[in-house]
Amino acid sequence: MRTSTLGDLLDPLTVEGKLYETQPDGALRCFACGHRCLIRPGKRGICQVRFNQEGRLRVPWGYVGALQCDPTEKKPFFHLYPGSDTLTFGMLGCDFHCTYCQNWVTSQAMRDPASDISAAGLREVTPAELVEYGRKMGAWVIGSSYNEPLITSEWAVDVFQVAREAGFTCVYISNGNTTPEVLEFLKPHVTGYKIDLKSMRDKTYRGLGGVLQHVLDSVERVHRMGFWLEVVTLVIPGFNDSSEELWDAARFLAGISPDIPSHVTAFHKDYKLIEPDNTTAETLTRAAEIGQEAGLRYVYAGNLPGQVEDYENTYCPTCRTCLIERLGYVILAYRLTEKGSCPSCGTRIPGVWPTRAEQVRLGTSEDLYDRRPRPVI
């Protein structure tokens, strides 16, 4: 008797996809991500969760593999409703295979047998039920993360349609391996888009399963299309932390817009990458300084609260007034006007801001360890 597999559980939880076109020979060209897989009958794409069943592309729908309510700063979005919570859902699968993935149990499902434990976390759910969870948890934002959301975009859009009708703002937390087609598909529903810029070296990207130019093109395209964009680089010792590479990344972003918030965050040992040391505060501060010197106006250092000088805070680029003071995910002070401007000089600060300052949840340093993800029961 054949033992059931994770695919046996996931394949029924699918619908026909929208992000593909049929080829004359019965193969399907998927454009959910930059790989643009040509999927022949009975075969799967690189992500393993989109597959050709009798000439139709089946895509994930109707479940979550991870679900919790996170501080929005954890995504990280620093210029999108500070102090708010984001109901965050994910499915299974990814188009990359990063050896340091912190969400490897969900992202590497159907690839790494060790990820088969993800089956225990599967929860069948409807879009309306997810939105109701968000309401009960007091979230302002609903986001797709934990696996790569691009490969499950049909499901995300169905969730976001219901969420937006209920007054939520919707976001993507993504590796940025986009296509023009998937971004057009997402644009009516997604306000914020976070992209991981993992390296400025194509050889490094190919080792992770991607192509550098695809991600660089995506950063430019997401910004040009009017999504609220924030970019994150996980700084890994010996992997992408050379001054040359950090300068390349900062100059690239500043060349698109100096107003793009750039986050450099600390690595900790996870999954298969356990040899490098964890990122030090000194390294992270150096990376943030490079971003500022390259002309970026909003540079943040993350994952080491209270250890990175002033790089957790938002400052006016004109007069240097401290506008948002942070400690980890806690907002200690919020001073933007109702129009999202500096109260001292009137400079408009780009972002997605609340209409009233009193809507921002404020805390103290004592809240540092209480302001954390909350499970959704």
DSSP one-letter code for 108: T
CB burial of 114-137 (b: ≥16 within 10 Å; e: otherwise) equals ebeebbebbeebebeebbebbeeb
pLDDT one-digit tens code per residue, 68-101: 999 999 999 999 999 999 999 999 999 999 988 8
Mean per-residue pLDDT over the chain, rounded:
96
pLDDT score for 70:
97
pLDDT score for 370:
92
Amino acid residing at 167: G
DSSP one-letter code for 95: S
Q: Does 329 have pLDDT greater than 70?
A: yes
pLDDT one-digit tens code per residue, 298-311: 999 999 999 999 99
Q: Does 200 have pLDDT greater than 50?
A: yes
Give 325's strand partners: 333
Q: Does 31 have pLDDT greater than 90?
A: yes
Per-residue pLDDT, averaged over 171-195, amounts to 98
Q: Please say whether the beta carbons of 266 and 303 come within 8 A.
A: yes
pLDDT score for 4:
67
DSSP-assigned letters across all residues of 292-358: HHTT-S-EEEESSTTSSTTTTSEE-TTT--EEEEEETTEEEEE---TTSB-TTT-PBPPSB--SSGG
Above pLDDT 70, what percent of the chain? 99
Choose the weakest-confidence range: 103-107, 163-167, 219-223, 268-272: 268-272
Per-residue pLDDT, averaged over 261-289, amounts to 92
Query: Is the pTM of the predicted complex or chain greater than 0.75?
Result: yes
Give the pLDDT band (50/70/90) at residue 271.
Answer: confident
Q: Please say whether the beta carbons of 107 and 53 come within 8 A.
A: no
**What CATH architecture is 63-311?**
Alpha-Beta Barrel (3.20)
Helix axes of 212-225 and 243-256: crossing angle, nearest 10 degrees = 30
pLDDT score for 1:
44
Give the pLDDT band (50/70/90) at residue 16.
Answer: very high
Domain regions of the chain by residue span: 6-60, 63-311, 313-371
pLDDT score for 358:
94
Per-residue pLDDT, averaged over 319-326, amounts to 98
The DSSP element (H or E) to which 144 belongs, if any, is strand 141-144
Q: Does 2 have pLDDT greater than 60?
A: no
Q: Does 151 have pLDDT greater than 90?
A: yes
Above pLDDT 90, what percent of the chain? 89
DSSP-assigned letters across all residues of 182-210: HHHHHTTT--EEEEE---S-HHHHHHHT-
